[in-house]
Structure 1
Amino acid sequence: MSGRKRSREGQLAGCSPEERVTSWFTHFRDLLGTHPTVDGAEEEIPAVLTSLEIDDGPFTATEFATVKSTLKEGKSAGPDGIPQRSLKTAISMTSY
């Protein structure tokens, strides 16, 4: 109606399904290329912070009690998606 001709841009080249599959394969092979090579991938990366004063042992009963007392009822879940009510219940059920 407008007199414009239909553009072939964005259409797959090829008439048969096999030609279209070959076109897709070629397109993505050219787009993605080969696997990247990383020089020194087997090198050991040195630790930056090795002497932090962080206790990484099991939780103590005092730590559990402190956390339980700070949790408020009726609040929404945190970034981990666990409701605070569930955390309080789990802490109560833990035998400490």
Structure 2
Amino acid sequence: MTPQTKQQKIKEIEYQTRMLKNLKNWIRNLLIFSSIGVAVAYWALKIQEGPLFTAVGVVSVIFIVLSVVLSGVIGFAFKNGKSNVDKIIRQV
């Protein structure tokens, strides 16, 4: 292995590690958004009455489902990215 190739792999490890950190931040943000969605949905569907609040509640539930699905997709990407970084580390 040439030193240049090793340096490129080290840079790739650093870059992918930063991207994995970004994915963790996205998962955290989506968890926060889904929690806010639960609070808004509960407020709109259980505490308030009327068609406007029902619509807000339904939109909140859709927002919750979307946040959870995206968290799963990003979690899967994080898992694959982590295994990719581990594979590169083993090569270096």
TM above 0.5: no
The TM-score with structure 1 as length reference comes to: 0.29
The TM-score with structure 2 as length reference comes to: 0.30
